[in-house]
Structure 1
Amino acid sequence: MAALSRHQNSRQAAPKPGAAPKASAFRPFPTVRCQGAPSFRTQLARDFACLLDVDDEVSAWSCLPAELARDDESHVPDFLVRRGGRHELVDTGNGPGFRWLSQEAEERGCAYVVVPSAVIREGFRLANARDLLRYARWECPLGDRIRLLAGLEENGSLTVSESLAAFRETRPIAGLAALALSRFVSIDLDSAPIGPNTSVRPWTA
């Protein structure tokens, strides 16, 4: 991402070998909007990445993007997140507690944000995001997509159970999840676990 490009010379970095477990250490494995190789230090970071993939404001994110340093202290944030024209360097959990991180991030054109575990894991959104991401590698055939979008255009919204009738060429739940992750449709992730009566609408930016 361009926000760090002018600073990524000697300080560009990924963490030292062994500093982060491989992406395969934490489930779910697939991602949607990750740029570069996914790599997470904790399950909490992986959970936050699930939320990034279903956040309508997020256009891209990357893991362990660059080292921030001051004097004899250094730190690699968990994520670089692009939200439209804004960039955020994000740590999950408690963060390292270095007071200088916000200023170092600002000098690189980014905000520095710490997202606590309670925020990441509150409500239904995380569990619903994890359910959808099981189908992140799935592709919905054109015919099924057009049938569902035509039904939504006619009705404004449908329930999940009503939407499934549109799928004739692929597994219905997999097709619906793929369309949600690809931002063709929007599924209510906050009111309850995804179920037969969950609302499905056309996706709008």
Structure 2
Amino acid sequence: MRFSNNGAGDTHREPAAQNPFFPLATLKSFGAVIFRSQASRDVACLLDVDVAVSSWVCAPKPLVLASEHYICDFLVTDVEGVQTLMDAHDRQDGPDQKELTAAAASINLRYRRWDHAAVHSGFRLRNSKDLIRYANYTTALGDRVRLLAALNENGTLSVAECLSAFQETKPIAGLASMILGGFIEIDLDEALIGPETKVRRIVC
């Protein structure tokens, strides 16, 4: 998103798209969530399942460039407190990346523009979108205890084997909620999530 001078002394803002993009739920966002495009929505899904990411904000304060004020898609804070301005991969025709990096560095931020391959290669995006749709679910205490106890006893279980632990919560919703909540983990890169996908407990 950019601010540009319209020649009349005013500042014009290109608005972010108001239509919702799938999936609707988010996990690590703060503030208003208005995605500029489906591409930026896809990047947010990857941020939500990245264990190195603590939080992200849509459309942060603009960067001051030589000829315009430029609004990045995200301001991302990692678990160590490092903040990075990010753009989705559909903004390749935007300002020069070196200029954006320098402008970000001037206010003690980093800058990253995602590329298409980083977003769409492999299975991570599809799996993250499947999980994030359940971000607003909460697994019942009894179901959570039953599954964690079974994983303690067996080490790993398949997704199909885990489903029988859920008696109070919808099984897939409960399993996804526990993955997103950091109680259990699966490999998001190996294949699409299926009945044979291995589930492991995360031990803090």
Q: Is TM-score (shorter-chain normalized) higher than 0.5?
A: yes
Verify: 1:77 aligned to 2:76, yes or no. Answer: no
1:188, distance to aligned residue in structure 2 (A): 1.5
Residues 160 and 197, structure 1, Cα contact 8 Å, conserved in 2: yes
Instruction: Say if 1:158 and 1:101 are closer, same or farther in 2 by CA, change over 3 A.
Output: same
CA deviation map 1:67-101 (0-9, x unaligned)? 00123222111111111221110011126232321
Q: Between the two proteins, what is the percent identity of the paired residues? A: 45
Measure, in 1, the Cα distance between the counterparts of 2:61 and 2:174: 36
**1:67–1:77: 8 Å Cα contact kept in structure 2?**
yes
Q: State the aligned residue count.
A: 190
Corresponding residue number in structure 1 for 2:83: 87
Q: CA RMSD in A?
A: 1.7
Q: How does 1:66-145 map to 2 (within 5 A)?
A: 66-84=61-79, 85-93=81-89, 94=92, 96-98=94-96, 99-145=98-144
Cα contact 1:95–1:114 (8 A) shared by 2: no
Q: Give the partner amino acid of 2:31.
A: G
Aligned-residue offset at 1:55: 0.7
Distance 1:40 1:104 in 2: 23
Name the CA distance, whole Å, in 2 between partners of 1:97 and 1:157: 48
Q: Gapped runs of 5+ residues in structure 1? A: 1-14
Task: Quote the residue 1:33 is aligned against.
Answer: 28
Displacement of 1:109 in angstroms is 2.0
Which protein shows a greater Rg? 2
The alignment partner of 1:129 has SS state of helix
Q: Structure 2: state its 5+ residue gaps.
A: 1-10
Of 122-131 and 107-116, deviating more is 107-116
Kept in 2, the 8 Å contact 1:187–1:198? The answer is: yes
After superposition, give the CA deviation of every residue in 1:93-138 in whole Å (9 maximum; x if it has no partner): 1262323211211122211001012210111011111111121111
Give secondary structure in 2 for the equivalent of 1:174. Answer: helix
TM-score, scaled relative to structure 2: 0.87
Residue equivalent to 1:157: 156
The structural deviation recorded for 1:40 is 1.1
Q: Which residue of 2 aligns with 1:55?
A: 50
- 1:10 counterpart residue number: none
